[in-house]
Structure 1
Amino acid sequence: MSDGTGAPAAVNPRLVRSYDLRGRVDTDLTEADAHALGLRVAAAVRGRGGRTVAVGYDGRLSSPMLEAALVGGLVMGGVGVERTGLGPTGQLYYAVHARGLDGGVMVTGSHNPPEENGFKILLGTDPVHGAALRALVERPADPAPGGEARPVGVQGAYLARLLRAAQGAPALRIGWDAGNGAAGEMVERLTAALPGEHHLIHCKIDGRFPAHHPDPSEPANLVDLRALVRDRRLDLGIAFDGDGDRIGVIDGAGAIVWPDQLLLYLAQDVLTRHPGAAVVADVKSSRVLFDGIAQAGGRGVLSPSGYVLIRAAMLREGAPIAGEMSGHLFCVEDWYGTDDALHNAMRLLAAIGRRGSLTAWRETLPRTHATPELRLACPDADKARVLQEIEATLVAEGAVIDRTDGLRVTTPQGWWLLRASGTEPKLTARVEAWEAEGLDRLREELTGRLRRSGVDFR
């Protein structure tokens, strides 16, 4: 495809986010964009001396069309393409790592609404993000000879690798909610091979997401799973997002096990084998997590939010495990250092086999009062202004501020965080307090500061 002058078409720059490319299909994101991206990824791969990449896609209605156009651009750009087909993002990552490929592209809108889609890009085994992503999109690209595409079946090998991570899992009664996302078919195959009793909901892949929005970090999207766990008196429930890289967990009491709590449960298990190791968590995580890591003999490391930044901090610190409040968890102890929620589910089951009931463990945690992650609509162009205005007032007041990512403000009552989302036109916030009254006060404080800068806290 060309721009009408004979030159290859450009990629719409409005698609570029901090960590991937995303946009509304047929408005911001078109077939021509996918083809143009394929040419540019091919040029980047060849520029590194590479020859072959993997391509996979999620269950969105637009994904097959975008995948075909992307593959066409890659082939025109002179690289070999191994088409892994429909499946979760972890399956694509597995193909790149296990087969020693030179990169990969996943066509996915992740947890975004069904009318949106996008691309996650690997060069080698590293995600392309930030300035490197923009440079890739803007680089010149011309056709080159030697490209070809072929289907490659990796589902069986990926399934076997996941099951290896679940060795020692006890025979539990588990509810599973795939959210009609790309993990649905693999969940069916996994549960057929795991011990115990399994109850599956919303596992039919449907890009309209008829059951609920595909994001388990939002409590509203866990209502069906919580009801299933309570009604059937199950041991736990596990949920996934649209492309299977975010995990949500419900314990046997029907309570949400927040991602920082899940990270602590897994980290305590990992630290028995790696005493003194670092554990990386994002700025939205509870103080309970960092206190628990220290009590287990580990070293907690605070990182900016964003799955690629969490991964980078994990590799830099030599940490065997890392995670963030959105439900992205990473492990290099027995995996590839990628955010694969299916793998994390298998690790959880194996850890329960070693450590015992997740429900009983959660009930021993110190009680705090916290909000979930709050997402506040804010145009991208206004995010920096709002944060700068609020920071200026905090500095004038002598507040205790951690600027690892946005503003994390500590007070005698607890702490609150305000930061800019890297993937959506939103600010994200979280508040945690030691007492219920403190939570109300801190939330009111943050509400007032946001309103004075023109943001409605809902």
Structure 2
Amino acid sequence: MVNPDIFKTYDIRGIYPQEINEDIAFKVGVALYKFLKRKLKKRSLRIVVGRDCRLSSNSLFKSLCQGVFSQKGRIVDVGLVSTDSLYFALAYFKYDGAVMITASHNPKKDNGFKLLAKGPKCISQDWGMAEIKKLVIKAKMCLIKTQGKIIKKNIIPDYVKYILKLVNLKDIKPLKVVVDAGNGMGGEVVEKLVKELPIKLYPLYFKLDGHFPNRSPNPKIKNNIRDCQKKVIKHKADFGLSFDGDGDRAIFVDEKGKIIGSDMIIALFSIYFLRKEPRSKIVYNLTCSKILKEVIIKNNGLPIRTKTGHAFIKKAMQKHKAIFGGELSGHLNFRDVFCAESGGLVFILMTKILSQSNQPLSKLVKELKKYSQIEVNIKTTQSQKAIEKLAKFYHKGKQDYLDGLTAEFSDYWFNIRASNTEPLLRITVEAKDKKLADNKLREIKKIIKE
């Protein structure tokens, strides 16, 4: 029996083994192959598969392969890798499709599948997921094991070489950096890159461990970054970087141990790219600070605002031929890496930016902090009703429905949207100062409860 709730906005995800199991993995293999065969109009496909270090990932991999083999497909096994490494492999080696077996930043009991088509193109609610869902539900288990060909490939050397070619390394100074992999997949590429750089690396939790004994895989939870913050202060490092479980999200800590909002990082990276290529387009999700749009315009760039979600960032970048994109969750995407994330490139670019500026990260960010922003979640199953109430109450503001409701006034704005993954309302309020932001948040909560 297939639980329809495992089909999320950007991936297939759930608790192992109750919702995600070997039976589902087999059916996902069948479904993806059939889907890609129709889309690509090819008879024989090569599917590249990577996995994270979760305890169930290897078993799910074997069953997924059986599903692909039952359709006469071929598997390229890249082993234990970060999600961004898999994106690179799909695009660089021109495979027909890809599967990353991971539950990303979810708790250790979960697992799932990120599915991609040639391009790379994310299979999401926006494109393909409805068809995949139907095919998975329709698929039947094959009790007889099918023999198929698995080609093992180590993609990391090619990926590292590719990243190193994207940045002029000559002016990078001997900085000190803490990188927290959280026992997940984010450490391997960084470790290889550092060998080519004058950087003193202080690795934290680089040993792969699906039990995630030191912290949960989500670096957006403040408690999960405490060890990184402490290590930055202890070693007087220039910055710290914490990855999620599959290594495609990065959260920064400055030299004082303070967590930096991802929109501030997007702003710094935007300035870097726009100096190299003026008039370029930068994509960002709509809950980023208003300062980001101002920074992009000030630095002769073209801002592109989009819905929240890494699949939407990638799609917008491809559509608008943007040089760079990112969102508040810590996904940072690069045109030169096929519009995908790259933890390794994020690491190198920050060392480059700090080397060129001769200023600490805290000072660079302070220059950008113009507004006060608050993000909160409210548990509710009445998301649409709440949005309608707020739209009516704040009708005098400039409103749009790109992703939930955004209402903008002269000295503040807010966005309220239903979570793509949980029964939550996500509220973002930004104002000219903290007092106004707090007042508006209280007002919004009161209206929702009425």
Correspondence 1:328 to 2:331: yes
Distance across 1 between alignment mates of 2:221 and 2:194: 24
Distance across 2 between alignment mates of 1:115 and 1:243: 15
Alignment map for 1:276-355 (pairs within 5 Å): 276-332=279-335, 334-355=336-357
Change (3 A) 1:356 1:446: farther
Give 1:391's aligned amino acid: A
Deviations 1:90-118 (A, max 9, x none): 11111111111001000010011111111
Matched residue SS, 1:118: strand
Give 2:134's aligned amino acid: E
Correspondence 1:27 to 2:27: no
Checking the alignment, whether the CA contact within 8 Å between 1:77 and 1:145 is kept in structure 2 is: no
Checking the alignment, whether the CA contact within 8 Å between 1:244 and 1:342 is kept in structure 2 is: no
Moved more, 249-258 or 320-329: 249-258
Distance across 1 between alignment mates of 2:398 and 2:198: 49
Deviations 1:304-335 (A, max 9, x none): 11111111112222211111100111111x22
Checking the alignment, whether the CA contact within 8 Å between 1:264 and 1:292 is kept in structure 2 is: yes
Unaligned runs of 5+ in 2: none
Aligned residues: 437
Deviation at 1:220, TM superposition (A): 2.8
Change (3 A) 1:39 1:157: same
Deviations 1:117-160 (A, max 9, x none): 11110111211111521212213558899952221111222222
Give 2:425's aligned amino acid: L
Checking the alignment, whether the CA contact within 8 Å between 1:432 and 1:439 is kept in structure 2 is: yes
Alignment map for 1:143-222 (pairs within 5 Å): 147-168=148-169, 169-222=172-225
Which of 66, 69, 72 lines up with 1:72 in the alignment?
Answer: 66
Correspondence 1:132 to 2:123: no
Which of 85, 95, 106 lines up with 2:100 in the alignment?
Answer: 106
Matched residue SS, 2:339: coil
Matched residue SS, 1:353: helix
Which of 417, 421, 425 lines up with 2:419 in the alignment?
Answer: 421
Alignment correspondent of 2:33: 42
Correspondence 1:441 to 2:439: yes
Give 1:27's aligned amino acid: Q
Alignment map for 1:387-426 (pairs within 5 Å): 387-395=387-395, 398-426=396-424
Matched residue SS, 1:305: coil
Alignment correspondent of 1:250: 253
Checking the alignment, whether the CA contact within 8 Å between 1:77 and 1:147 is kept in structure 2 is: no
Matched residue SS, 1:289: helix
Matched residue SS, 1:22: strand
Checking the alignment, whether the CA contact within 8 Å between 2:218 and 2:245 is kept in structure 1 is: yes
Change (3 A) 1:386 1:361: same
Give 2:123's aligned amino acid: V
Moved more, 236-245 or 436-445: 436-445
Change (3 A) 1:63 1:289: same
Correspondence 1:369 to 2:372: yes
Give 1:135's aligned amino acid: E
Correspondence 1:62 to 2:56: yes
Change (3 A) 1:224 1:446: farther
Correspondence 1:359 to 2:362: yes
Give 2:29's aligned amino acid: G
TM-score (norm 2): 0.91
Which of 220, 229, 233 lines up with 1:230 in the alignment?
Answer: 233
Distance across 2 between alignment mates of 1:374 and 1:223: 21
Distance across 1 between alignment mates of 2:316 and 2:206: 33
Distance across 2 between alignment mates of 1:383 and 1:210: 35
Distance across 2 between alignment mates of 1:195 and 1:291: 34
Give 2:133's aligned amino acid: V
TM-score (norm 1): 0.90
Matched residue SS, 2:322: coil
Matched residue SS, 1:280: strand
Distance across 2 between alignment mates of 1:217 and 1:408: 23
Deviations 1:257-310 (A, max 9, x none): 211111111111111122112211111110111111111011212111111111
Correspondence 1:82 to 2:76: yes
Percent of paired sites with the same residue: 27
Deviations 1:8-42 (A, max 9, x none): xx754221111111111111112100100101111
Matched residue SS, 2:427: strand
Distance across 2 between alignment mates of 1:62 and 1:375: 30
Distance across 1 between alignment mates of 2:388 and 2:61: 40
Deviation at 1:194, TM superposition (A): 2.8
Alignment correspondent of 1:93: 87
Give 2:156's aligned amino acid: Q
Alignment correspondent of 2:4: 13
Checking the alignment, whether the CA contact within 8 Å between 2:108 and 2:217 is kept in structure 1 is: no
Distance across 2 between alignment mates of 1:244 and 1:259: 15
Distance across 1 between alignment mates of 2:199 and 2:434: 39
Change (3 A) 1:366 1:248: closer
